[in-house]
Structure 1
């Protein structure tokens, strides 16, 4: 951060004309104004989205993270806006001027007219590419503006919006020990020569094959991924006597090394730096990409698999393990290892709102167990728990694994599985011999070839399918049946002073309460929880109506409570290439989301919000003072899920997802699933999947306990598989 335009430090490749157009759009998204008396607010309102180096950082982010077609569309639109003719085509009559040559290019339009153009694109444009371009620029502009940190780790906008993190507290109790160090090899610190020596020192047989340009490593089990599935599998298999290697493309951080700030945390800990949309732009996806995977950055909720879901998986999908005491016992073992607690000493502002609103309506609200202590009051667990209280796989299962001799390689990305023709007489035509990986350290050019008796893919529902397909597997279920637990949000504003709800929106335990929206036949249509939203996430999800409206919304950030509606989706998507995710909501999903959104708004009103609304693009909201039941119901009738961000709909909404499942699901045969009930590929002997992608369908609740319990059962079966193989060799 902190680079100035013109210094030659940017590699985005945008032309001067494109950058001029981009800066002009950014200024209209967040324009300067001066109507506030308070000095702090004056500084914020006078700030602009076009201030250097924000446009250059947007161009960098788009180049680095944007989908190919999005980059192309944005650059075409920017290029057109840099010319008079292109501006006429895209902006119409607003581009006219009384002076020769009578047409302005976009950057020459007055700020008011530029804002009118954006409003037109945002609300009424039926030419989808223009809308795509604007949404990308708008989202990235707001994200960078509110997430930037300078040399003193501050953002000039934060004080104005009431965002003041306590970073100078007592950190003496924060764990500084690198619990995984004795099993850790961080490839970013290695060279070819030192890497081989480090592998040998960890008890592995490693040789450098210069002819084939490989470093060969032999082990019993190689696991790709260190999250909820991979961490559990590593612990179980290492404790059974197997020499286990875990490959993780992300880095390892101790609690003391986590940042409390949104921008740096998303960049270091999340897939694609936290900027991962579906290909149609309708949904933004969050997925962990660090040692511990999703367990290192999730919101601590530890909800067991619902009994109705277990019955469905056992009876309808014919996967017996989900109907056994073995699975129930696995959930108890997982909860014990994670130190799950049932109570919360002090609930956060948002959870207070959820609980009070439900109580005032006579609705049931349940406590959410967490993998932390009962007095854990940390609002930044989504950025890695700096207090070291939350127990992800990085400080539980992986510790067990390295204590039993497991080795973890960070900065190491798997490229393909090593498959050969199966000569054992098995029904499976192929046999997996290991995995080929590469170090993300560019000084290590040799590939790493891990040869193992068992290979486990545990890199999550978004990455396991592309890895399997790139290895030559063909099963029709690989990459399909992807469930995302789609999320929509409602918000309520609770201005200070308010003695009933203490705290700020970004403080305290993220999820400690849940309300289930139940239909007449007792089916759960949706669950309502509370999210973690830093200033940048808040801004990017907020509807943009005008620049001034956006700034006004942001000044209410710290006392705006959000409630998220999560549904157990019947619709599904596909992910067959890394980073390219498609997804479709079913009609039932939309109805359930509507029921959840309506209930969320009712809860916010009942809790005493002075204003409530949704994230619909038209800025849908209503003042609550003096509302009667009829007026509330009339407003609720207008609340419903609408088409996604790049559709032709005048009003649209951006969905989000933090749970991904089912893209390599278990099945009773190869027509029904990508793997069998033991997690083994139907096509390749010795290749197993042990992550959320094996789940037969969506869970309907936060899935961490389900993933870990499933991984526990599967890895115990893999251990038995290896024991039998060893017995056969002995005899």
Structure 2
């Protein structure tokens, strides 16, 4: 490409960007605000605070990868851009966790789906957690502002066939469906969003708020791990951070001490509780790391008579909320239906079987289609979420027991997905369950699902949405922060990411994080300017 990309331009113009691996001696850095994490929450916060004239330092454990690094190659991308080289999972290994570990966080590798927090979710938060100030009416201007900032609008090109099959099946069965808003500008419709956008079309933090902050004199350290916040009475005094070696994973032994008037933690719903736990901050009611949610995701694959090429084209463009709030907010587990792209390496990890069976299945990949269901957790007493705790080495891990209430929702979602695929003309369907075969009719699939044993490791579960663990609420006895993300017990600490959600939300979370972070950062900027 002949044009110079945004990051290259910025680096050439003198942005203050330091890679941890290049540091040769310990140092102390001071600023008005130190922000841990550069994803949806951290990037938004950094841009708003820097534009208000405050000095800002961003700390990112992952590295700065940008256009020159995005080669549409699954293997290097997953290894470099994802937490634990894309092998992150729940404590028992039964749920795979897809999460970014790079500048821009998960917004660099997500599939661009951009939904407002559902009204039903915001209303529930108001009623249950005393968060009346986050009503749909109050949040609307913040959603508007972020939709503009990140170029979010319903996808205007025709959906690829992988997504259109969801539409066709829904139409046949009389289920509602809609077009997904995407945060893209000049998208080439390549389909490799999950490996980093090679054309700079994706308007995640990497292309928007991070450059916006750096243009206003913010400083970025990447390859720098936030180890612990040091507290003095009720205030954070400093952040201790470790530089990563050139492999991006091993600490080099160099430490950076960051001092500030205010600290913002935006290290994700696994990373943020982890940092607060490592720091031993006041937590009188034991709330940190509790009520961690993920939208457990199950899937089905179909063999279609027509060539699908599920690896090309916008990964997600059609969805159905037919079953999301059908039983009310706190009835049976609701689920949102979407479509995942099926790239060869990703598909190899998803489609059951190995050896000759897997080779045979994946030989049919160009004719394969998939549907996923995102289960809405956290709204029912039998869906209390999981717990983030620390391993012996201090790294965070999520323990997420799947309750009978959720297993029932997962079984219901299997029925729905198979029914939709057969309605759209599938030759055969297979559920992502170890006991599933390929089924040639809806009746056979339904009978098989009736008999599935629902248990960890039998059902193949995934998640790309981590939420909760530093939940917000008006009552400090059941929450970590208030509705503005301000810590209940530490006066100069805020949390600005999806860890503050008191439940899951029932939609892909990036816009919810952008909007909440914009609202809360605007208030923080006013507070600090005084």
Same structural fold, with TM-score higher than 0.5 when normalized by the shorter chain: yes
Residue 694 in structure 1 maps to residue 500 in structure 2 = yes
In the TM superposition, what is the alpha-carbon distance from 1:363 to its structure 2 partner? 1.8
Residue 515 in structure 1 maps to residue 320 in structure 2 = yes
Give the structure 1 partner of residue 8 of structure 2.
178
Give the structure 2 partner of residue 670 of structure 1.
476
Cα gap change, 1:179 to 1:527, in 2 (>3 Å): farther
In the TM superposition, what is the alpha-carbon distance from 1:549 to its structure 2 partner? 1.7
| Correspondent of 1:527 among 315, 336, 344 | 336
1:281 counterpart SS class: coil
| Correspondent of 1:584 among 401, 414, 419 | 401
* Conserved 8 A contact 1:278-1:285: yes
* Conserved 8 A contact 1:491-1:563: yes
What is the number of residues matched between the two proteins? Answer: 509
> Any unmatched runs of 5+ in structure 1?
1-170, 194-213, 422-429, 646-651, 725-731
* Conserved 8 A contact 1:489-1:562: yes
In the TM superposition, what is the alpha-carbon distance from 1:448 to its structure 2 partner? 0.8
In the TM superposition, what is the alpha-carbon distance from 1:674 to its structure 2 partner? 1.0
In the TM superposition, what is the alpha-carbon distance from 1:631 to its structure 2 partner? 4.8
Give the structure 1 partner of residue 355 of structure 2.
547
* Conserved 8 A contact 1:594-1:641: no
* CA distance in 1: counterparts of 2:57 and 2:265, whole angstroms: 12
* CA distance in 2: counterparts of 1:662 and 1:467, whole angstroms: 14
* CA distance in 1: counterparts of 2:56 and 2:187, whole angstroms: 36
* Conserved 8 A contact 1:348-1:377: no
In the TM superposition, what is the alpha-carbon distance from 1:319 to its structure 2 partner? 1.4
- Aligned 1:297-316 pairs, distance under 5 A: 297-316=109-128
Residue 364 in structure 1 maps to residue 176 in structure 2 = yes
* CA distance in 1: counterparts of 2:482 and 2:449, whole angstroms: 45
Render the CA deviation track for 1:75-112: whole Å, top value 9, x for unaligned.
xxxxxxxxxxxxxxxxxxxxxxxxxxxxxxxxxxxxxx
1:219 counterpart SS class: strand
Cα gap change, 1:215 to 1:504, in 2 (>3 Å): same
1:216 counterpart SS class: strand
* Conserved 8 A contact 1:260-1:380: yes
Give the structure 2 partner of residue 439 of structure 1.
243
Residue 656 in structure 1 maps to residue 462 in structure 2 = yes
In the TM superposition, what is the alpha-carbon distance from 1:346 to its structure 2 partner? 2.6
> Any unmatched runs of 5+ in structure 2?
none
In the TM superposition, what is the alpha-carbon distance from 1:620 to its structure 2 partner? 2.8
* Conserved 8 A contact 1:482-1:574: yes
- Greater strand content: 2
Cα gap change, 1:180 to 1:676, in 2 (>3 Å): farther
* CA distance in 1: counterparts of 2:9 and 2:166, whole angstroms: 37
Give the structure 1 partner of residue 296 of structure 2.
486
| Correspondent of 2:204 among 392, 406, 421 | 392
Render the CA deviation track for 1:518-559: whole Å, top value 9, x for unaligned.
376565821110113322221222222x63222211111222
* CA distance in 2: counterparts of 1:489 and 1:188, whole angstroms: 39
2:191 counterpart SS class: coil
* CA distance in 1: counterparts of 2:3 and 2:153, whole angstroms: 20
* CA distance in 2: counterparts of 1:447 and 1:635, whole angstroms: 56
Residue 709 in structure 1 maps to residue 515 in structure 2 = yes
* CA distance in 2: counterparts of 1:713 and 1:180, whole angstroms: 27
* Conserved 8 A contact 2:436-2:448: no
In the TM superposition, what is the alpha-carbon distance from 1:581 to its structure 2 partner? 1.6
Residue 506 in structure 1 maps to residue 315 in structure 2 = no
* Conserved 8 A contact 1:249-1:410: yes
| Correspondent of 2:36 among 203, 216, 224 | 224
* Conserved 8 A contact 2:20-2:224: no
In the TM superposition, what is the alpha-carbon distance from 1:675 to its structure 2 partner? 1.3
Give the structure 2 partner of residue 94 of structure 1.
none
Residue 347 in structure 1 maps to residue 151 in structure 2 = no
| Correspondent of 1:289 among 90, 98, 101 | 101
| Correspondent of 2:85 among 234, 259, 273 | 273
* Conserved 8 A contact 1:485-1:700: yes
* CA distance in 2: counterparts of 1:581 and 1:702, whole angstroms: 19
In the TM superposition, what is the alpha-carbon distance from 1:670 to its structure 2 partner? 2.0
* CA distance in 2: counterparts of 1:503 and 1:541, whole angstroms: 17
Cα gap change, 1:174 to 1:286, in 2 (>3 Å): farther
Give the structure 1 partner of residue 277 of structure 2.
469
Answer 1 or 2: higher relative contact order, Cα 8 Å, separation at least 6.
2
Give the structure 2 partner of residue 246 of structure 1.
58
Cα gap change, 1:641 to 1:659, in 2 (>3 Å): farther
* Conserved 8 A contact 1:342-1:374: no
* CA distance in 2: counterparts of 1:641 and 1:413, whole angstroms: 41
| Correspondent of 1:413 among 212, 225, 235 | 225
* Conserved 8 A contact 1:236-1:716: yes
Cα gap change, 1:414 to 1:611, in 2 (>3 Å): same
* CA distance in 1: counterparts of 2:456 and 2:252, whole angstroms: 43
The ranges of structure 1 where at least 4 consecutive aligned residues each deviate by more than 6 angstroms after the TM superposition are: none
TM-score of the superposed pair, with normalisation by structure 1: 0.67
Larger radius of gyration: 1
* CA distance in 1: counterparts of 2:479 and 2:445, whole angstroms: 46
* CA distance in 2: counterparts of 1:551 and 1:675, whole angstroms: 50
